[in-house]
Structures are given as C-alpha cells and as structure tokens.
Structure 1
Amino acid sequence: MMELSSVIDDYMAKTTGLKKFCDRCLKSERWSGNVVLMVVDAAFDSIGLNYFNSIVPKVVEFEEAFVENGEVNNLKDLSQLPHEQVKNIWANKRSWSVAKSVASYLHESGRNGGLNDRKALREWARNTSLEGWKQDPIGKIGGVGLTTYQYLRMMGGVDTAMPDKIVKRVIEEILDKAEVKMPTNKDLEFIKTIDQIATISGYRPIEICWMTWLVQSEGDKIRMEKYRDTLDRI
C-alpha cells in the first residue's frame, strides 16, 4: 500500500508547470487577465464538452471576433451581446444566457462598488461560500451548476476544486491506489475530500483539480504535454 501523499506525488510529477498555471488562475490572470473571456470560458464549459478540443478554440474564436476588434471591451458589453450575433460561433442559447447573466451581475455589483471587472469578480468570489452556492446570485442563474460556480470562484481567486466527472474519476482512482476511503459520491462532500487530500499532500485544491484533467491521455501524450502552449496562453 502506498501512502496517499506518495500516490499524489506520482501524479503531480507528470504536470510540470502546473503550479505556475494555478497561480495565474488564483490571481485572475487567465486569458491575459480578461474577465470577459474568463466568463465566456466558464459559460461555454457549463455544457460539458471537451475543454481543450471544444471550449478553448471557441473562446479564442470569440476573442478574435468580438474582443480584438473592440466590440466587447468589458462585462457590460458582454451582458448586452445578443445570441443572434454569436450563434455562428456558439449555438447553445442556454450557456450563452449564462455568460450574459453572469456578466450582468458582476458588472452591476462592480459598478455599485466602484470596481473594475477584475476586482468585481474577485470581490464576488471572496464573499462566496461552498455551502451557500444555491443562495448566491450567480448560483441562482439558470444553467449555473456547482461546477460552473466553483470554476468562477477559482478564477476569482478562491483555492478550491470542481466536482467534475473526470476529477471524480481520477480522485477515486488515487484513493483506491492508496487504499484510503473518503467520501466522493455527493458533490459537496467530494470537494471537502479534495480539501483533505490537499492538507495531507501539501498541494493546493486547485492544483489537485487541474492535475486530474491534465494527466488524461490524448493520443500518445498526456494533456499537460499536448496543450502546454495553450496553457501558457489561457
């Protein structure tokens, strides 16, 4: 039987550069610090498609079509952009509604507090809780599940994890290898299990969460190797 921390070390050894990426995430510096793209990323990801093959290319396409030309400069602009204008890039109306609704809430809360978009995201995240997610204004938005809520919190600076199916599968695999029993069935208890693993292993919850995606194989490489340049961009 291997100790849990040793099993985690073996997985983490495959993800060189992960800490730097997670640091950027916690500083709200993903997508070059563009909160519009962070919100679009989280909204597109809410329907469960492959992140690197489907979501990232579409966020880049959105950036090229609307951000680089100055049409969408901030969350206010995003909140007012009708689906009709983006449907050629992103057909799913429900997740586009998520993007607009999240942008609208963050813009309004930021305006009321005299905060720019980045500070509005971080201030919202700082005042959120895991247990209170269903009562949170963003948690109440149709189409925002716990995974999307947690993803936005992470990009807003909260060191936590998402109860994504891949994350669960890898964590259960790790626990099996270490012959350790921890609750993983219910989403809230699963996130708390990752917190426990983080305390035991010395890694942060956000690092454990991202590691589970990046050790997945695609072709003859794991995602950490295949998408290293993409991670540097996003």
Structure 2
Amino acid sequence: MAVFLKANWEHIIMVNYEIDPQILLPFLPNDVELDLFNGKCYISLVGFMFKNTKLFNIPIPYFGTFEEINLRFYVKRKEGNQIKRGVVFINETIPYKIVAWMANKLYKEHYTVVPTKHELQINNAAQSIKFEWFLDKRWNSIYVTSELKSNRMKNESLEKFIYEHYYGYTKIDENNTEEYQLQHPSWNIHKVLNYTVDCDFETMYGQPFSILNQTQPTAVFIAEGSLVKVNWKRTKLQFSDEGN
C-alpha cells in the first residue's frame, strides 16, 4: 500500500477532557460512532512536533519540521467482525500555508495556519516541552514537565485508549466520509509532573467548544512518539445508518 506521508512525531502531548457527547454529534462523520472509554466521551487538545516530513518519500525542503496543534475526538467503525478505532479532527493548526494547502486540497482536511513555536528543555531527570500558537493577538500554549524515562502504556488504561486509534475519519459532507489508516508502533509515555494549558477554545475552535474554557482536564499525557506513516489510500464510505 502506497504511503503518502512519513514523518517523525515527537513529544506528543494529549490534554484530555471529558465532554458531553451531544456537542460532538454535529461533527460526527457518517458511518462511524463515538468511541467511549468506561462510558465516558473524551476530546483531546494535542501538541506535537512534526519532523523530517516526506511526501511519497520525497523530503519537503524548508517546511518539513514544524509544530502541530489539533483538537480531536474518538470514534469507531464496525466492518464485519472488525472494530476500527479512529479519530476525527475538529481542526489541525500548523505554521506553513503550503503544507496546509496540500493537506486540505488532497485530503479535504481541516488545516488552518497560525504562527507557532516551541521550547524544549532536558536535564538528567526531567524534560519540559511548551507548544505555543498565536491567535487573536495573543499566544496560546500547552506546557508539560515530565520524567525523562519512559514506560510502556498499561493495557486497558485511558492513555492506551487515547493514543491507540489507528484510523482517521474525515467528514466530507453529511453523507460522505473518508477513512484512512496510520501506521506507528505503540508508544512509550512519560510520567507527567506538571502542566499548564492556556487555550481560548471558543476563539480557536468555535462556540460549541467554549465549555472547555471552564473545564479542567481529566488527564494529561505525553508520549515519546516515533516514525508515523499515513497511507495514500482513502476509502469512501457508502451511506449507512447502522451504528449511528
């Protein structure tokens, strides 16, 4: 299967909020359903580094390394006896117009462009990573300090649920959905020691998500990351009202 995109994803912060499922229903693609953990619905504010990006194995000069901030929620799709667990992006934010244009044009994604930056500090025992993005005349940010050592995620844990969704679903319109697959190994995670979140969710993502401005995260995780591959093939899902 042809690989469209390869990149190293590093320092992957997940700030996870419990959310009312009704808020997400208007954004839910056809033919998938919300994926719950212990009966609860989650949405994640994500920050990470995109490094050494290649399209069809060709490096992107000057624009191959950048920060990404996104807001995503979790879905699943039943296909025969298989359950495909995936994510839906409300928005993905990066600093380069050409990269966003390509993703939106080729894949009908929801990329927007704002200035971004990051700061990484590492000592013998801990690391600190801060992602920032400039919106509405001010810098928003996610900041995490964690242990330097990492460990495997525990089975049946919230962190494993959050990180291990290997499909993406894009809502093309009310009746059409596209499915694509991501490839990466199971990531190790670092124990989070401290964190701060400064995000204007309403300005960034719209009024439906203003509730997150007054919501405390349920949990914050950070993973090491790895090489990630995104397959070129996208499956167009036919209309079905089963499972929705």
TM-score range, shorter chain: under 0.3
Q: Please state which structure has a larger fraction of its residues in helix.
A: 1
TM-score by length of 1: 0.24
